[in-house]
Amino acid sequence: MNNIIRNDDLKRNISNLFLASISVHDSRRSDAFGSLYSMMRIVDDLADAMAEGDESSQEELARIRSDIAEWEESVLYCYEGDSQTSGIDLKVMQSIAKFQVPKRIWTWFFNGMRTPVSCRGFSNLEELTSYGRAAATAPLAVFLITLFSEPNEYGLYALDPELRILQVAESLGLWSYMMHLLSLEKKYLLSRDPARNLLPLDIMNRYRIPEEDLLEMAGNGTSDKPMRDMVRELMGWAAGTGSFGLGFVKEYVMKLPEDRRNALAIYVTIYSAISRRIRAREFDIFADPPIWSPEDRTKVASIIQGADNFEEIVATW
pLDDT at position 11 over 50: no
- Write the CB contacts of 227 (distance below 8 Å, at least 6 apart in sequence): 207, 209, 213, 214, 217, 284, 285, 286
Provide the β-strand partners of residue 151.
Answer: 157
Cα 189 to Cα 217: distance, rounded to the nearest angstrom: 10
**180-196 pLDDT, tens digit each:** 999 999 999 998 767 88
Measured over the CA atoms of residue 98, residue 8, residue 20 and residue 271, the dihedral's sign is: negative
**φ and ψ at 286, to 5 degrees?**
-100, -5
Distances from the Cα of 268 to the Cα of 7, 56, 66, 272, 304, angstroms:
22, 37, 35, 6, 11
CATH 1.10.600.10 fits 7-314, yes or no: yes
* Integer Cα distance of 246 and 116 in angstroms: 30
Q: What percent of the chain has pLDDT over 70?
A: 90
Report pLDDT digits (tens) over 267-295.
999 999 999 999 999 999 999 988 888 78
**pLDDT for position 2:** 42
Put residue 133 in one of left, alpha, beta given phi > 0 → left and psi -120 to 50 → alpha: alpha
- The whole-model pTM stands at 0.90
Q: How many Å apart are CA 303 and CA 312, to the nearest integer?
A: 11
Q: Where are the domains of the chain?
A: 7-314
Q: What is the pLDDT of residues 126-163, one digit of tens each?
A: 999 999 999 999 999 999 999 999 998 888 999 998 99
